[in-house]
C-alpha cells in the first residue's frame, strides 16, 4: 500500500498559503505549513482555515501549521518561499541581503530533516537562492530546482493569447535564462496550436510582449505593493505534481548546469523533463544567434549575483 505523500511548505505567507490550497485541492498529499516561531500561530491559523475549507469542499488532506522543523521530517516535496518579497521599485537582486541568511538557515534545517525531498525553491533572487540551497545542502542536483520559467512562460502565453485573440489553452511558449529582466523568451518555441506565433503576430508586437513579460513581476509589484502569488504558486505545483505523479512534463526549470548550453556550476532556466527522479533530462534546444546572445547576457547577470552570494559569509 502506498503511503500518503507529505508536502512541506517553508514560508506560510502569500505564496505558501496558495500552495497549500492547491496541494489540498489536488489531493497531492498531506501538507505542513511552516513559518518562523514569531509566525507559528499565523501558520497554525492558516492551516486550520484550510482544513475547514477542505471539509466544506470535500478535499481529503491534512494541513498542519508549525514552526518546528521536526514536523517537516521525511517530506517528499519541499517548496521554499521563505524570505521577503519585493516592494515597488526594488529589483529581485535587492533581496539578497535579507534572503541569503534565510535560505542558508532553511538549507541547514532541510538537510537535517528532509534529506530525501524533491526541493523547489521560489524565494528571490531565484537563481542565486536555489544555487546556494543546493551548494549548502549538497543534495543531488536532480532533486533541487528553482521555479521561475513556468511562471514567466505563463505570463508570455497570456500576453500572446490576448494579442492573437485566441484561447490561452492553445498557446505554448518557453522563457529561459535567469529570473530577471534579462530572461529569454524563445520565439522559435512559441506556437499557437502548432502554428508559429511569428505567423500570427508581427515582430514589433512580439518584441513588446517579450518586454512586458520581462517586467511581468514588477508590473504586479507596482500595482499591489507586493509580489504575485496565485500564478507563482500554480507554477510550482505544476513542477511538484510532475515529480509526485512521474508525469515527465517538459517545463522550463532553474536547474544546475554542467556544461549544458555552454554553462557550468550555474542555476538557470532551461527546458527539463521532471519525473520521479527529479530532473530526468535537460533538453538542449538549438538556439539562434540572437537567442544565444540573450542567454549569455542573462547568464552573466545570474553569475554576478551568485558571485555576491559566494563571497558573503
Ligand atoms: N520565483 C518566482 O517566480 C517568484 C515569484 C513571486 C515571488 N517570489 C518570491 O517568493 C518569496 C515569497 O513571497 P511571498 O509573497 O509568499 O512572501 P510573504 O512575505 O507573503 O511570505 C514569506 C514568508 O516567509 C517567512 N519566513 C521568513 N524567514 C523564514 C525562515 N527562516 N523560515 C521559514 N519561513 C520564513 C515569512 O515569515 C513569511 O511568512 C519572495 O522572496 C518573493 O520575492 C518568487
pLDDT tens for residues 128-150? Answer: 999 999 999 999 999 999 999 99
What's residue 215's pLDDT? 94
Least confident interval from 17-21, 83-87, 151-155, 163-167: 83-87
Cα separations in angstroms, 106 against 81, 101, 129? 10, 9, 11
Q: Which DSSP category does 189 fall into?
A: G
- As for ligand 1, residues whose beta carbon falls within 6 Å of it are 10-16, 34-36, 39, 81-86, 95, 99, 102, 105-106, 122-124, 126, 147-148, 151, 179, 226-229, 232
Sign of CA dihedral 272, 146, 306, 152: positive
Q: Whose CA is nearest to atom 40 of ligand 1?
A: 85
Does the annotation count 179 as an active-site position? yes
C-alpha 10 – ligand 1 centre gap (Å):
8
Please give the Cα distance from 37 to 171 (Å, whole number): 43
| pLDDT exceeds cutoff 80 at 313 | no
What's residue 91's pLDDT? 87
Query: Nearest-5° angle of CA 127, CA 131, CA 135?
Result: 175
**Residue 48 near residue 77 (C-beta atoms within 8 A):** no
C-alpha 82 – ligand 1 centre gap (Å):
4
Please give the Cα distance from 8 to 31 (Å, whole number): 6
Q: Whose CA is nearest to atom 43 of ligand 1?
A: 85
Q: Whose CA is nearest to atom 26 of ligand 1?
A: 82
Hey, which of 38, 81, 178, 230 would you mutate to test ligand 1's pocket, going by the most ligand atoms within 8 Å of its Cβ? 81
Please give the Cα distance from 202 to 92 (Å, whole number): 31
The number of the ligand 1 atom at minimal distance from the alpha carbon of 17 is 16
> pLDDT tens digits for 154-181?
999 999 999 999 999 999 999 999 998 8
Hey, which of 124, 145, 180, 229 would you mutate to test ligand 1's pocket, going by the most ligand atoms within 8 Å of its Cβ? 124
Q: Which DSSP category does 104 fall into?
A: H
> pLDDT tens digits for 105-130?
999 999 999 999 999 999 999 999 99
The number of the ligand 1 atom at minimal distance from the alpha carbon of 16 is 16
Q: What is the mean pLDDT of residues 30-34?
A: 98
User: Which of 247, 260, 228, 242 is closest to 152 using CA atoms?
Assistant: 228
C-alpha 212 – ligand 1 centre gap (Å):
24
Q: What is the mean pLDDT of residues 281-287?
A: 95
Q: Whose CA is nearest to atom 20 of ligand 1?
A: 13
C-alpha 233 – ligand 1 centre gap (Å):
11
| pLDDT exceeds cutoff 80 at 2 | no
Burial of 82-98, coded b for 16+ CB within 10 Å and e otherwise, reads bbbbbeeeeebbebbee
**141: CB partners within 8 A, 6+ apart:** 134, 255, 256, 258, 279
Cα separations in angstroms, 59 against 8, 29, 49, 53, 306? 18, 11, 13, 8, 41
User: Which of 71, 57, 2, 1 is closest to 24 using CA atoms?
Assistant: 57
> pLDDT tens digits for 227-251?
999 999 999 999 999 999 999 999 9
Q: Are strands 77-80 and 6-10 parallel, antiparallel or unpaired?
A: parallel
Catalytic residue among 5, 155, 179, 214: 179
Q: What is the CB neighbour count within 10 angstroms for residue 254?
A: 29
Category of 13 on φ-ψ map: left (φ > 0), alpha (ψ -120 to 50) or beta = beta
**244: CB partners within 8 A, 6+ apart:** 5, 28, 29, 76, 77
Q: What is the mean pLDDT of the chain?
A: 96
Q: Which DSSP category does 168 fall into?
A: G
Alpha helix ranges (H) inside 80-215: 96-113, 126-137, 149-164, 197-200, 203-214
| pLDDT exceeds cutoff 90 at 206 | yes
What's residue 156's pLDDT? 96
What's residue 292's pLDDT? 94
C-alpha 16 – ligand 1 centre gap (Å):
8
Enter the pTM of the model.
0.98
Hey, which of 227, 236, 269 would you mutate to test ligand 1's pocket, going by the most ligand atoms within 8 Å of its Cβ? 227
Amino acid at each position: 500500500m502506498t503511503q500518503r505523500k507529505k508536502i512541506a511548505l517553508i514560508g506560510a505567507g502569500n505564496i505558501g498559503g496558495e500552495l497549500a490550497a492547491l496541494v489540498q485541492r489536488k489531493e497531492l498529499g498531506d501538507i505542513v505549513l511552516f513559518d518562523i516561531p514569531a509566525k507559528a500561530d499565523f501558520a497554525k491559523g492558516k492551516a486550520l482555515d484550510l482544513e475547514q475549507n477542505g471539509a466544506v469542499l470535500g478535499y481529503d488532506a491534512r494541513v498542519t501549521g508549525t514552526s518546528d522543523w521536526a514536523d517537516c521530517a521525511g517530506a517528499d516535496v519541499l517548496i521554499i518561499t521563505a524570505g521577503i518579497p519585493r516592494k515597488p521599485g526594488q529589483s529581485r537582486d535587492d533581496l539578497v541581503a535579507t534572503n541569503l541568511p534565510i535560505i542558508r538557515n532553511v538549507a541547514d534545517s532541510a538537510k537535517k530533516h528532509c534529506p530525501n525531498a524533491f526541493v523547489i525553491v521560489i524565494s528571490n533572487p531565484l537563481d542565486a537562492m536555489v544555487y546556494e540551497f543546493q551548494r549548502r545542502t549538497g543534495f543531488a542536483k536532480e532533486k533541487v530546482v528553482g521555479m521561475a520559467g513556468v511562471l514567466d512562460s505563463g505570463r508570455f502565453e497570456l500576453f500572446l493569447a490576448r494579442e492573437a485573440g485566441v484561447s490561452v489553452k492553445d498557446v505554448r511558449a518557453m522563457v529561459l535564462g535567469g529570473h530577471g529582466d534579462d530572461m529569454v523568451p524563445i520565439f522559435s518555441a512559441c506556437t499557437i496550436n502548432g502554428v508559429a506565433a511569428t505567423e500570427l503576430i508581427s515582430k514589433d508586437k512580439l518584441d513588446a510582449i517579450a518586454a512586458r513579460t520581462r517586467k511581468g513581476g514588477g508590473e504586479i509589484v507596482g500595482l499591489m505593493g507586493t509580489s504575485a502569488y496565485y500564478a507563482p504558486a500554480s507554477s510550482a505545483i505544476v513542477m511538484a505534481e510532475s515529480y509526485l505523479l512521474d508525469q515527465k512534463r517538459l517545463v522550463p526549470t532553474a536547474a544546475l548546469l554542467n556544461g549544458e548550453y555552454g554553462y557550468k556550476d550555474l542555476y538557470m532556466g532551461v527546458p527539463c523533463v521532471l519525473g520521479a527522479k527529479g530532473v530526468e533530462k535537460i533538453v538542449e534546444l538549438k538556439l539562434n544567434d540572437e537567442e544565444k546572445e540573450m542567454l549569455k547576457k542573462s547568464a552573466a547577470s545570474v553569475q554576478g549575483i551568485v558571485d555576491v552570494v559566494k563571497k558573503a559569509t
